[in-house]
Structure 1
Amino acid sequence: MSRRPSGRAGRIRSSLRLAAAAAVCSAVLGTSVQPAQAGSDRNPPPGTGLHQELRELVKRPDGPPGVIAVLRDGDHAEVYRAGVADVESGRPPRATDHMRIASVAKAFTGAVALGLVDRGRLHLDDTIGEVLPGQPAAWHRVTLRQLLHHTSGLPDYSASQGFFDIISEDPRHRFDSRHLLEFVADEDLEFRPGSRYQYSNSDNIAVALMAEAATGRRYESLLRELVYEPLGMDATSLPQGYRLPVPFLHGYQIDPEDGPVDVSEAFGASGAWAAGGIVSTPKDLTAFIRGYAGGALVSQRLRRQQFTFIPGALSQPPGPGRTEAGLAIYRYTTRCGAVYGHTGNTAGYTQLVAATADGRRSLTFSITTQTSLTNNPDLLARVREIQEDFVCALLHR
């Protein structure tokens, strides 16, 4: 195929290291600027128009080799796809292909934490000092609520020079996930807890550690008990290594000289863990967001607190329309209405999952390259326009 990677091995290895570094940089981007809402005067295209938008997306010189979107309304699901899951084989993407879901994993962390709050094992106003007394004293007044809202002020471990140096040198380095916060343990809070919003990977590591401390159980087991099993998800996992289960949707860095460089297994998951290490499929993500946004995993009392939103607070990368942050969930207000979910990006992948507040209608949208406000913002702008068209198609059914 014309998009098959080529070029010298040295350039490829360099591209892989740069991809890992780019994944870190995009994850820690500040969120003080709200991108303009795209396509406010556009009508939602028909189904054939949606297919055409995806075909045009993969044909862009900087576009992803593959894209897959799943629209579900009740028991009826429609799969839209373009391009390939793997440039070597040329096979199309499937809803059962595994992939890295990046920061969509933060919604899973929220599901675990809120599930434990409902069970009385944690409380939203529990502090790091009360639950994790071994963490730095300067962080002790931060609450679980602030961690879930990204208003904690915790310094982001993935922005630390020590972490960056390790992952840039060896993207497959095996971290001890439960000690990731030690990269910033000597740093004070970046601001007074609760005073402002700042997206931080450290928040979700701290949430997972609080969940483990409150239950005496591993976070991976809590995911299975509180999320996977209740929602019938059998293809989702939180690995430590760099291998992906087969079949998987290959992720690529688009190199100007070498074309698509496969970075699917170029880096390990241990350095992201609860902040972005989960591997899932479009099919499983559909089940997750329908249950999570629809309130199947938390009580109505707690859900009212979860759906307390901070205007202008972005997920990373920004999703369709205007964004507001709740407790481990975002509201995306498009020209056609609001949906609730999360986005994510890492080397090789950009993700969106969203659903209506009753969970009946949902969208999963996955492309096989990374984009963010700093990593190819032009591509991101187009992706957001297409995502908004899909949301409009979903809501107008």
Structure 2
Amino acid sequence: MRIRTGRRAGRTAAMILAACLAASLPSMAAPGAAAATAKGPAAAPRSWAATAAELDRVIQRTATDAGVPGVIVGVWKPGQPRYVRAFGIADKSDCAPMRAGLNMRIGSETKTFTVTALLQLVDRGRVGLDDPISAYVPGVPDGRHITLRQLAEMRSGLFPYSKDTGFQHLLTTQPHRQWAPRELLRIAFGHANQFPPGARFDYSNTNTVLLGLVVERVTHRPLRDVIRDLITRPSGLDHTFLPKAAEFPLPHAHGYTDFTPDGTVADATDFNPSWGWAAGAMISDLDDLRSWAVNVATGGLLTRQTQAERLDAKPTGAPGDFYGLGIDVNHGWIGHAGSLPGYQSLTIYLPAMRATLVILLNTDIPSRGENPSTVLGRAITQVISPGNVYGDASDQS
């Protein structure tokens, strides 16, 4: 099929998207949908049915305002029916609706898996959190003074390779390129360290790529195999894995990004996420992430002492936000967000309510300067946990 170009093509694409969204609206919040996840219409308490209906309205309105093509949302709270919905479209080309069982790219949620693998090696006595990275990976600037702990808590001072302008140019112009971890590190190490180790927080994919190499060095096995054998297989996460390249099992949603040379929106479904590797390349689905949210927040695969160290989170500089060892604590919610071209995600657990929230989106295009996953996370938690609003800049103390 010939691809249209120019303003006419843009108007046509917008018309097609509008038609897709309009066609999907009846299934997004159909009458009686609030009780559909219980055993029958009368099984859900009236209060929860009202909450579910409010979530339907809030999510649909927020996603529309943020320009999100499609979103999958799951909310689980003890004593209440589960709330699982899919809104909008998974593929603009044929108006295929978003469905709850689709595979999705989860971006930086990968960090929770890589750091969990590292912490399991800590529990086995194979590595120490205060070991210098130079003991495992040569050539790291100031590597004798940067510890594995500082890498995991984003306080190493190493330059984030993803902020390098040359790398960004290659990523937009060669989105299908296969990247090796050492290539990424060469880009990072071409810049001076930003501050002395431990001085402050700075989110950097360079840190987690290095930790992925530590796991491989100690186990003498590929990181993807270690994650499978130590984490996903024992946890029953059958749809979660670290791909070698751009493989993406069906069924999956198409992802849309404006991270392109000219800023136009592109289908990023087949972009190669190898540039994220240990920091951002993994794939999962809603059910797996629901289980992982509880597991990673409560330390299901770690000793109590190591989990306590993981959750010893320090301020990031954003109100109400703290970062531990490969994990975020935001206004009481424990977990991680993820973003890469075409996809965003948020998987979090609130111990005070034993509540779980998972959000999966098929776009990374900002909404008024914010990640759409943050916008949706805030809107949803305003309904389900008004005392713990994710991403809320107000003082919650």
TM-score, length of structure 1 as denominator length? 0.78
Q: 2:183 and 2:8 mapped to 1: Cα distance? A: 33
Relative to structure 1, the CA distance from residue 222 to residue 246 in structure 2 (aligned partners, 3 Å threshold; closer, same or farther) is same
Deviation at 1:74, TM superposition (A): 5.5
The one of 5, 9, 15 equivalent to 1:8 is 5
Say whether residues 1:184 and 2:188 are aligned partners. yes
The one of 88, 95, 99 equivalent to 1:94 is 99
The one of 249, 257, 281 equivalent to 1:245 is 249
Q: 1:362–1:394: 8 Å Cα contact kept in structure 2?
A: no
Query: What letter matches 1:171 in structure 2?
Result: P
Say whether residues 1:293 and 2:297 are aligned partners. yes
Deviation at 1:161, TM superposition (A): 3.4
Which residue of the partner structure matches residue 354 of structure 1? Answer: 348
Deviation at 1:327, TM superposition (A): 1.0
Which residue of the partner structure matches residue 151 of structure 2? Answer: 147
Q: 1:68–1:94: 8 Å Cα contact kept in structure 2?
A: yes
Which residue of the partner structure matches residue 380 of structure 2? Answer: 387
Q: 1:98 and 1:243 mapped to 2: Cα distance? A: 11
Q: 2:125 and 2:9 mapped to 1: Cα distance? A: 50
Deviations 1:150-181 (A, max 9, x none): 00011111222342232222111111234420
Relative to structure 1, the CA distance from residue 359 to residue 299 in structure 2 (aligned partners, 3 Å threshold; closer, same or farther) is farther
3-state SS of the aligned residue for 2:91? coil
Which residue of the partner structure matches residue 275 of structure 2? Answer: 271
Deviations 1:214-255 (A, max 9, x none): 121111111011210121011112123224211002212379
Deviation at 1:91, TM superposition (A): 3.5
The one of 45, 50, 55 equivalent to 1:50 is 55
Q: 1:371–1:380: 8 Å Cα contact kept in structure 2?
A: no
Say whether residues 1:310 and 2:314 are aligned partners. yes
Relative to structure 1, the CA distance from residue 197 to residue 162 in structure 2 (aligned partners, 3 Å threshold; closer, same or farther) is same
Query: What letter matches 2:102 in structure 1?
Result: D
Identity within the alignment, %: 28
Q: 1:391 and 1:102 mapped to 2: Cα distance? A: 25
Deviation at 1:384, TM superposition (A): 4.0
Query: What letter matches 1:387 in structure 2?
Result: I
Deviation at 1:109, TM superposition (A): 1.3
Q: Which runs of 5+ in 2 are unaligned?
A: 11-47, 390-397
3-state SS of the aligned residue for 1:370? coil
Query: What letter matches 1:343 in structure 2?
Result: A
Q: 1:115–1:298: 8 Å Cα contact kept in structure 2?
A: yes
Which residue of the partner structure matches residue 329 of structure 1? Answer: 327
Over alpha carbons, which structure has the higher Rg? 2
Relative to structure 1, the CA distance from residue 204 to residue 226 in structure 2 (aligned partners, 3 Å threshold; closer, same or farther) is same
Which residue of the partner structure matches residue 34 of structure 1? Answer: none
Query: What letter matches 2:326 in structure 1?
Result: A
Which residue of the partner structure matches residue 340 of structure 1? Answer: 334
Q: 1:54 and 1:7 mapped to 2: Cα distance? A: 32
Name which of structure 1's ranges 50-59 and 353-362 shifts more when overlaid on structure 2.
353-362
Deviation at 1:77, TM superposition (A): 3.2
3-state SS of the aligned residue for 2:117? helix
Q: 1:348–1:369: 8 Å Cα contact kept in structure 2?
A: yes
Q: How many aligned residue pairs are there?
A: 346
Say whether residues 1:77 and 2:82 are aligned partners. yes
Which residue of the partner structure matches residue 232 of structure 1? Answer: 236
3-state SS of the aligned residue for 1:350? strand
3-state SS of the aligned residue for 2:385? helix
Q: 2:346–2:377: 8 Å Cα contact kept in structure 1?
A: no
Say whether residues 1:366 and 2:363 are aligned partners. no
Higher relative contact order (CA 8 A, sep 6+): 1
Deviations 1:66-85 (A, max 9, x none): 11111123696320221122
Deviation at 1:141, TM superposition (A): 1.6
3-state SS of the aligned residue for 1:151? coil
Deviation at 1:387, TM superposition (A): 3.5
The one of 117, 121, 124 equivalent to 1:116 is 121
Q: 1:322–1:332: 8 Å Cα contact kept in structure 2?
A: yes
3-state SS of the aligned residue for 1:353? strand
Query: What letter matches 2:274 in structure 1?
Result: S
Deviations 1:131-162 (A, max 9, x none): 22x22352232101001100001111122234
Q: 1:138–1:188: 8 Å Cα contact kept in structure 2?
A: no
Q: 1:298 and 1:95 mapped to 2: Cα distance? A: 30
Q: 1:147–1:207: 8 Å Cα contact kept in structure 2?
A: yes
Deviation at 1:328, TM superposition (A): 0.9
Deviation at 1:359, TM superposition (A): 9.8
Query: What letter matches 1:117 in structure 2?
Result: V
Query: What letter matches 2:153 in structure 1?
Result: H
3-state SS of the aligned residue for 1:172? coil
Q: 2:338–2:346: 8 Å Cα contact kept in structure 1?
A: yes
Q: 1:156–1:202: 8 Å Cα contact kept in structure 2?
A: yes
Relative to structure 1, the CA distance from residue 11 to residue 168 in structure 2 (aligned partners, 3 Å threshold; closer, same or farther) is farther
Q: Which runs of 5+ in 1 are unaligned?
A: 1-5, 14-43, 315-320
Query: What letter matches 1:340 in structure 2?
Result: I
Relative to structure 1, the CA distance from residue 381 to residue 344 in structure 2 (aligned partners, 3 Å threshold; closer, same or farther) is closer
Q: 2:161 and 2:9 mapped to 1: Cα distance? A: 27
